[in-house]
Amino acid sequence: MDRNTFTGLFLIMIILAGSVFFMKPSEEEIKKEQQLQDSIAQAKSPETKKTTDSLFAAQQGLEASTVDSTQMSGPFGGAKVGNEELISLENEFIKATISTKGGRVKSVEVKGEKDYLGKPLVLFGGDKNRFGLQFSTAGVNINTNDLYFRPQTKAPIIVKNTDSASLTMRLSYAENKYIDYIYSLKGNSHQLGFTIATKGMQDVVAPTETKLVLNWQADLPQKEKDMKDERNRSTAYFKEFDGDVNELSTTKDETKDLGKTDWVSFKQHYFSNVLIAKNGFSGGSLKVTTVNNDEIVKSFAANMSLDFNRQDVNTYPMSFYFGPNKFSILKDQGHDLEKQINMGWGPMKWINRFITLPVFNLLEGFNWNYGLIIFVLTVLLKLVLSPLTYKSYVSMAKMRVLKPEMDEIKAKVGEDNQTLLQQEYLKLYKQAGVNPMGGCIPMVLQMPFMIAFFFFFPNLFELRGESFLWMKDLSTYDSIINFPMIPVININHISLMCILMTCATLLSTWYNNMVSGATGQMKYIGYFMPLIFFFVLNSYPAGLNYYYFLSTCLTFVTQFFIRQSINDEKIHAMIQANKKRPESSKKSTFQKRMEDYMRQQQQAGKNKK
């Protein structure tokens, strides 16, 4: 080690030793550090933490109190803070729960009914549903849904039979200035009376406003087994003032502006929530939305206008209907509420309204099982239509007897000249006295009755929850096999009654083809159509498939007995006798049209050449 290195290390050691000696803490500094560490340890103890939290909560409470004081200084300030209380109004049919927050109907239970899970059926409920008046005052927008009302009573109200009772919820602005929501309920009624009364509000509502807006929003939960079907049958309805009942789309979201309106309805498949204005709404808008929620069928919103007069007292009498979409019950409410039920279109609507429904109600009076009622209804329909069925089958028998002669004509004329071939066929029909459309016309006349039931049974509330044989609920499908959804064919189950209906249809098709001697494409189309209907009807109510199964079986039996009663030899003899008669100059409408068509085809062929 050289001299310079030794000198450097010696100096460094002297500096370090001096630092230790001169930077040593005094006794006073050691005591201060000890006190600091003791304070930190005490702060981490549970008792100290509890005290700190209490101080923080007190500070937060002081801030909230400052906010509440600020709110209470504005319009309806005293109603902006409060505790929610619930009061129930109940009779034999419904139980409505009224909340002091917003003074609104918070939930409604339809008594005696269950949802698809077997739970009490609640039409709607919860804080997401809103109901209140909207207006402005002193430059502030007011929504009474967010304010606290004062009830006249806090005890539950129960009425029965001819009894009635009322509940007043008051929203005060100042002395002799308030808004009352008056609810009234009678025994044995699905209607909840509702009246809005304003007192001394003529100077409170902004001078520029001539209307109050009544906002009503509700998310309606799933009640039926098939969510997809329930969504497809749920939408908003409204009745134009002195006009007809209309609806929004069932398959897409829609918003509609309304003119003067009698009522608006948030309708699900089998239940409705209707708000009826005795003097009508002066206008508004209606909206229906499908939300991304597996438990909510659809979301509904209505903003309805109420004319506001600058006077001391204004009253707006209204009523709610909370209940089933049963035709007889809706009709008893008046206001054409029964028009919410889809009875079909055109002639099907009138068949269901004036024939099917009265007969069904008559059979229902015998207190039979609904499976038996459907059976009797189907038998009665077949008896009424039996003359048309017989005529159709006789006409088909005539065509079957003529088939050998028609084959001879085809062999003679050939298939290349279709116009000449049809002319020869017409001559044969005319000589034999046979109408080739005679078998089709009676079938066409029967079609409206069969299609009418396609609308009738899926919308029939009476079938809801009713069982028959293995079918636990005739208002929905009777699945025997369930599996994950198959996207291409869009099914996740197999309905037993739909299988039976399809098998019966295939058997009937086979029999008809055998009897009529159908060949070619017509033969295979007859087998293809029942398979298509299987996928269409697989998710439809078991009651509808049960009807189609019975109808097919009865048609098969009817055709079998008619076939046994018809003698082809007698028909052939009758046709031969008709051929020997002098030709009549009188022609049927069908013959005239066919001859005109043939002449046009011949002329078109000549022009082409």
List, for residues 340-395, the tens digit of each pLDDT value.
999 998 889 999 999 999 999 999 999 999 999 999 999 999 888 888 777 777 77
Provide the percentage of residues in the chain whose pLDDT is more than 70: 77
Structure tokens at 52: 């700190």
Average pLDDT on 228-247 reads 93
Residue 353 DSSP symbol: I
Amino acid in position 596: D
Q: Measuring CA to CA, how many Å separate 412 from each of 188, 405, 416, 428, 482? A: 78, 11, 11, 14, 58
Pairing of strands 479-486, 86-90: unpaired
Backbone angles phi, psi at 126, to 5 degrees: 110, 175
Q: What CA–CA distance (Å, rounded) separates 546 from 556?
A: 15
Amino acid in position 521: Q
425-441 pLDDT per residue, tens: 777 777 666 766 666 66
Q: What CA–CA distance (Å, rounded) separates 106 from 131?
A: 9
Q: Is the model's pLDDT at 73 over the cut of 90?
A: no
- Among the ranges given (1-10, 194-203, 315-324, 514-523), the one the predictor scored with the smallest mean pLDDT: 1-10
Q: Measuring CA to CA, how many Å separate 605 from each of 189, 440, 540? A: 73, 30, 50
**Predicted confidence band at 528 (pLDDT cuts at 50, 70, 90)?**
confident
Residue 282 DSSP symbol: S
pLDDT at res. 579 = 62
Choice between 315 and 589, residue whose per-residue pLDDT is larger: 315
Helix or strand or coil: residue 427?
helix
Residue 117 DSSP symbol: T
Instruction: Say how many CA atoms lie within 13 Å of 295 toward its Cβ.
Output: 5
- Label residues 555-581 b or e (16+ Cβ within 10 Å = b): bbebbeebeeebeeeebbebbeeeeee
396-421 pLDDT per residue, tens: 777 777 777 777 777 777 777 777 77
Nearest in space to 549 (alpha carbons), one of 573, 572, 533: 533
Pairing of strands 177-186, 164-174: antiparallel
Choice between 153 and 394, residue whose per-residue pLDDT is larger: 153
Top-ranked range on mean pLDDT: pick from 67-76, 320-329, 572-581, 594-603: 320-329
Residue 298 near residue 234 (C-beta atoms within 8 A): yes
Q: Is the model's pLDDT at 498 over the cut of 50?
A: yes
Instruction: Say how many CA atoms lie within 13 Å of 181 toward its Cβ.
Output: 24
Q: How many residues does the chain have?
A: 609
Amino acid in position 471: M
Residue 473 near residue 225 (C-beta atoms within 8 A): yes
- Among the ranges given (211-215, 317-321, 431-435, 505-509), the one the predictor scored with the smallest mean pLDDT: 431-435
DSSP notation for 553-574:
HHHHHHHHHHHHH--HHHHHHH
Instruction: Say how many CA atoms lie within 13 Å of 48 toward its Cβ.
Output: 8
- Helix orientation angle between 46-72 and 27-44, rounded to the nearest 10 degrees: 70
Q: What CA–CA distance (Å, rounded) separates 99 from 107?
A: 9
Q: What is the mean pLDDT of the chain?
A: 82
Pairing of strands 157-158, 86-90: parallel
Q: What CA–CA distance (Å, rounded) separates 72 from 181?
A: 22
94-126 pLDDT per residue, tens: 999 999 999 999 999 999 999 999 999 999 998
Nearest in space to 203 (alpha carbons), one of 341, 61, 309: 309
Q: What CA–CA distance (Å, rounded) separates 80 from 442?
A: 71
24-34 pLDDT per residue, tens: 555 555 555 55
